């Protein structure tokens, strides 16, 4: 026989109190005495009382849930961000629902609609590499649902954004290669429409210009953000008559893909080709030689994005969107 869920009315009846008194005590309302709160909370625990979040969401038009949309959970960077989000959400009385777009625009759009249907209090979003259209985010604006972009953002939407300093991180990576004596530095770039791709490419070009090195279009290859993109990208680079002596990859998975192709070609790292990635994925420290990379503060990024979203939920229409840029750090290893 199915057990009936205990309600506020059940607790009130057992203690000979009004349901409103029990409700306020469970919310730690200051008008209720400490002695009464203790009696109510003790009985609630004894009876395994759980608040009816569905009923509350129907009444308040929102839950205590925060929706999180990431491109892929398997990447160490995004798992670190999720941990940071959960840290702040938990401390603030929120739980999170995580969904992944698998780098697919249509799936991202469906995820947004599903989270709206679940009456989330707000959303934290990092867009997929195939997202060219931002209409589903404008729907959030129209419905007044708070949301914050992180890492990969839509610049045409007036919402808060939390990013790392992709531009200066790229400059630091490329300057490190130049200081080590490399001159033909290639860049395995990501999809051209993504903000992280644009900023890292701008940083790459700025570092070359600063040191008087003319950019060469043959040394810039646009692709995706996964290992196979690094593999095919380096394959096409090496097939030109302008073979690079160093490679700056848009992220670590792309760097790992390039690493595999370099090894396959029997080239030595860093003697024949130096290699730098971006994000400090743990695998970059485990390959031989370990790969120089740019560390991103993933956990801090998640914390900051969650803090901003919760502030937006609390302030409502008074909230003014903001942009936070977190610093990166060069991690030098033997690939350079």
pLDDT band at 61 (very low <50, low <70, confident <90, very high): low
pLDDT band at 74 (very low <50, low <70, confident <90, very high): confident
Give which of 77, 165, 178 is closest to 126, Cα–Cα.
77
| pLDDT computed for residue 216 by the predictor | 95
CB 315 within 8 Å of CB 97: no
**Residues 85-97: b if buried by 16+ CB within 10 A, e if exposed:** bbebbeebebebb
- Whether cis (ω within 30° of 0) applies to the bond prior to 289 is yes
Residues present in the chain in total: 336
pLDDT exceeds 90 at position 3: no
| pLDDT computed for residue 45 by the predictor | 86
Cα 255 from Cα 286, distance rounded (Å): 13
Cα 205 from Cα 176, distance rounded (Å): 14
pLDDT exceeds 90 at position 29: no
Determine the distance from the C-alpha atom of residue 121 to the mean position of all C-alpha atoms in its chain, rounded to a whole number: 18
| pLDDT computed for residue 52 by the predictor | 63
| pLDDT computed for residue 148 by the predictor | 98
Q: What is the DSSP string of 124-190?
A: EE---TT----HHHHHHHHHT--EEEESS--TTS-SEEEEE-HHHHHHHHHHHHHHTT--SEEEEE-
Go through the domains of the chain in sequence order and give each one's CATH number: 8-51 (1.10.260.40), 59-164+298-326 (3.40.50.2300), 166-295 (3.40.50.2300)
Task: List residues bridging with 96 in a β-sheet.
Answer: 66
pLDDT exceeds 50 at position 46: yes
- Whether cis (ω within 30° of 0) applies to the bond prior to 270 is yes
Mean pLDDT of the region 52-73: 74
Mean pLDDT of the region 242-261: 97
Mean pLDDT of the region 108-121: 93
Write out the H or E segment, with its range, that includes residue 247: strand 246-249
Helix axes 8-15, 19-26, angle to 10 degrees: 110
Task: List residues bridging with 69 in a β-sheet.
Answer: 99, 125
pLDDT band at 31 (very low <50, low <70, confident <90, very high): confident
Mean pLDDT of the region 164-178: 98
Write out the H or E segment, with its range, that includes residue 323: strand 323-326
Give which of 3, 13, 19, 99 is closest to 55, Cα–Cα.
19
The percent of residues above 90 in pLDDT, for the chain, comes to 81
Q: Is 132 exposed, middle or buried (0-12, 13-18, 19+ CB in 10 A)?
A: exposed
* pLDDT tens digits along 120-147: 999 999 999 999 999 999 999 988 999 9
Of residues 256 and 24, more confidently modeled: 256
Mean pLDDT of the region 46-51: 81
Mean pLDDT of the region 197-216: 97
Which segment of 44-53, 209-218, 245-254, 269-278 scores lowest on mean pLDDT? Answer: 44-53
Mean pLDDT of the region 114-118: 90
Mean pLDDT of the region 66-90: 95
Task: List residues bridging with 95 in a β-sheet.
Answer: 65
| pLDDT computed for residue 240 by the predictor | 85
| pLDDT computed for residue 137 by the predictor | 95
pLDDT exceeds 80 at position 164: yes
Mean pLDDT of the region 177-198: 97
pLDDT exceeds 70 at position 1: no
For residue 167 the two structure tokens come to 């531009």
Task: List residues bridging with 287 in a β-sheet.
Answer: none
Of residues 52 and 285, more confidently modeled: 285
CB 138 within 8 Å of CB 299: no
Start-to-end C-alpha separation, the chain: 67
Mean pLDDT of the region 190-215: 97
């Amino acid at each position: 026989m199915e057990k009936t869920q205990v309600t506020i009315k059940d607790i009130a009846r057992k203690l000979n109190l009004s349901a409103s008194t029990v409700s306020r005590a469970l919310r730690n309302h200051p008008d209720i005495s400490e002695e009464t709160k203790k009696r109510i909370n003790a009985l609630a625990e004894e009876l395994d009382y759980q608040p009816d979040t569905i009923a509350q969401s129907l009444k308040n038009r929102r839950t205590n849930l925060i929706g999180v949309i990431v491109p892929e959970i398997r990447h160490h960077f995004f798992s670190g961000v999720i941990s940071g989000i959960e840290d702040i959400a938990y401390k603030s009385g929120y739980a999170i629902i995580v969904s992944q777009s698998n780098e697919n625009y249509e799936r991202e759009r469906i995820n947004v609609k599903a989270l709206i249907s679940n009456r989330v209090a707000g959303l934290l979003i990092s867009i997929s590499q195939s997202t060219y259209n931002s209409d589903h985010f404008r729907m959030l604006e129209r419905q007044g649902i708070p949301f914050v972009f992180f890492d990969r953002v839509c610049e045409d939407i007036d919402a808060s954004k939390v990013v790392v300093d992709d531009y200066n991180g790229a400059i630091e990576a490329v300057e490190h290669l130049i200081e080590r004596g490399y001159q033909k530095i290639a860049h395995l770039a990501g999809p051209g429409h993504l903000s992280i791709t644009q900023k890292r490419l701008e940083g790459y070009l700025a570092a070359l210009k600063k040191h008087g090195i003319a950019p060469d279009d043959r040394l810039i290859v646009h692709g995706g953000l996964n290992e196979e993109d690094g593999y095919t990208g380096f394959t096409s680079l090496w097939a030109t008559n302008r073979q690079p002596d160093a490679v700056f990859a848009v992220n670590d998975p792309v760097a790992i893909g390039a690493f595999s192709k370099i090894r396959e070609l029997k080239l030595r790292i860093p003697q024949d080709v130096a290699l730098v990635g971006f994000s400090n994925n743990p695998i970059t420290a485990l390959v031989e030689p370990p790969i120089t990379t740019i560390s991103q503060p993933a956990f801090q990024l998640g914390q900051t994005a969650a803090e901003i979203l919760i502030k937006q939920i609390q302030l409502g229409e008074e909230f003014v969107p903001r942009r936070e840029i977190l610093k990166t750090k060069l991690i030098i290893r033997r690939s350079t």
